[in-house]
Amino acid sequence: MEIRPFEAGDEARKLRVQRELFLVGRQSGRVVAAVMAGYDGHRGSVNYLAVDPQYRRRGYGAMLMRRIEELLAARDSANADVLAFYQRLGYAADDVVALGKRLIPD
């Protein structure tokens, strides 16, 4: 599978913000996998990851995750968690599963 950055003509998302964090995997020219991520200056998040059902269990999902991890790890990391501050402003934990992985060991 060949991994490329987002190109016009793919699904028209993320055109204006961090489009370099939207990758698609192509097999014989056809999009068979995709991942979309974001970086807020401190944390990276993977919002979408999908592999065409016909192409699953071939390592493509893992390939895309490794590439997106490289792109996220290459970005600057700064700032500390300020949970109490956000709680004070009315933020609370959402009822979603969030999985984390530290890419920069500091």
**Contacting residues toward ligand COA, per CB under 6 A:** 49-51, 56-62
DSSP state letter for 8: B
Minimum CB distance to ligand COA, residue 52 (Å): 8
Contact 38, 21 (CB under 8 A): yes
Minimum CB distance to ligand COA, residue 22 (Å): 15
Contact 38, 45 (CB under 8 A): yes
Minimum CB distance to ligand COA, residue 90 (Å): 27
Nearest to ligand COA of 18, 52 (CB atom): 52
